[in-house]
């Protein structure tokens, strides 16, 4: 008889407080045939705390492609594998993304147990808008790529969530302040769920000055306000002001709009009434 294919289960682990360990995760880790862990030494402490003795193998950034193939072959042979990261939800800013991709390509079922995630935890306590947000994880270390990402974030209207290590915090805050502006609001979340959990609500400029005298300690999540809507509108209006009302309307006519719709769109762009556009066109033709 053919062997039934195993499954991959993504198992979130506490981001600081061990009491946050989901009961379903401990059950899954005990019942799995194998645990794939980002850092086996770190994960061994967690497993020992919960008296879990399932065999464990290393799965990390530097072996993620080849090791994923090995793990996929074991699941195709019928083994069930649980994936854990150092802390939080596997697949979020860690190599689990590659294993999940290969499982889908091989037709292996992937399941996830909901649980701790530093990104969402920080967002919800930040005091900044939560309806729309983008998660950028860690900024790239490469200077060129880092600048490209920062330039993209400068125009981002959604709330931005970043991770940062303490020894890079000052540089990252400085880069963000230069590109996004000193006045942009930021909630700096430190040591989430731990005894010394802290949330500082500042502007980026204030944050830069704070860490000139405060030594960064612990892991950080930065939640940054998106570009203000009024600023976006003002920049758009500034671009349109380079055109005369007649040129503005003609631009839309050239794109295929009829003149009435072109006038309506030009008025919307410039933040004026359609009558103002009509009067400007009449004036330019007289």
**Mean predicted confidence (pLDDT) in 148-160:** 94
Distances in whole angstroms, Cα of residue 209 to Cα of each of 36, 204, 242: 42, 9, 38
Q: What pLDDT is recorded for position 229?
A: 80
For the chain, domains (ranges, CATH) are 7-116 (3.40.1010.10), 119-227 (3.30.950.10), 230-285 (no CATH)
Q: In this predicted model, which residue has the larger pLDDT, 154 or 246?
A: 154
Q: What pLDDT is recorded for position 285?
A: 58
pLDDT tens, position by position, 7-49: 999 999 999 999 999 999 999 999 999 999 999 999 999 999 9
CA-based radius of gyration for the chain = 26
**Which of 56-85 are b and which e, b meaning 16 or more Cβ less than 10 Å from the residue's Cβ?**
beebbeeebeebbeebbebbeeebbbbbbb
Res 280 pLDDT > 80? no
Res 141 pLDDT > 50? yes
Q: In this predicted model, which residue has the larger pLDDT, 246 or 204?
A: 204
Place of tokens 């794109």: 255
The alpha carbon of residue 183 and the mean position of all alpha carbons in its chain are separated, in whole angstroms, by: 22
Strand order in the sheet with 34-37: 56-58, 34-37, 81-84, 7-10, 109-112
Question: Would you tell me how many other CB atoms lie within 10 Å of the CB of residue 243?
Answer: 15
């Amino acid at each position: 008889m053919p062997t039934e294919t195993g499954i991959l289960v993504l198992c979130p682990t506490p981001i600081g407080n061990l009491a946050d360990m989901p009961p379903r995760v401990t059950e899954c880790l005990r019942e799995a045939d194998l645990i794939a862990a980002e850092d086996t030494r770190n994960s061994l402490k967690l497993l020992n705390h919960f008296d879990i003795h399932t065999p464990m193998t290393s799965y990390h950034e530097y072996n993620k492609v080849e090791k994923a193939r090995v793990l996929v072959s074991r699941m195709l042979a019928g083994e069930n594998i649980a994936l854990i990261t150092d802390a939080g939800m596997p697949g979020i800013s860690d190599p689990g993304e590659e294993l999940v991709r290969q499982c889908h390509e091989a037709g292996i079922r992937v399941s996830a147990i909901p649980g701790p995630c530093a990104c969402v935890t920080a967002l919800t306590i930040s005091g900044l808008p939560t309806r729309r947000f983008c998660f950028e994880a860690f900024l790239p270390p490469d200077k060129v790529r880092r600048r490209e990402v920062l330039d993209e974030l400068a125009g981002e209207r959604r709330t931005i969530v970043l991770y940062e290590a303490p020894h890079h915090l000052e540089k990252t805050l400085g880069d963000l302040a230069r590109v996004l502006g000193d006045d942009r609001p930021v909630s700096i979340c430190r040591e989430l769920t731990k005894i010394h959990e802290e949330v500082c609500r500042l502007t980026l400029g204030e944050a830069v000055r704070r860490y000139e005298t405060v030594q960064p300690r612990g892991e950080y999540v930065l939640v940054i306000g998106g570009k203000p809507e009024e600023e976006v509108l003002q920049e758009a209006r500034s671009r349109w002001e380079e055109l005369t009302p007649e040129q503005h309307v003609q631009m839309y006519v050239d794109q295929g709009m009829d003149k009435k719709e072109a006038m309506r769109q030009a008025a919307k762009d410039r933040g004026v009434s359609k009558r103002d556009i009509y009067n400007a066109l009449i004036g330019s033709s007289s």
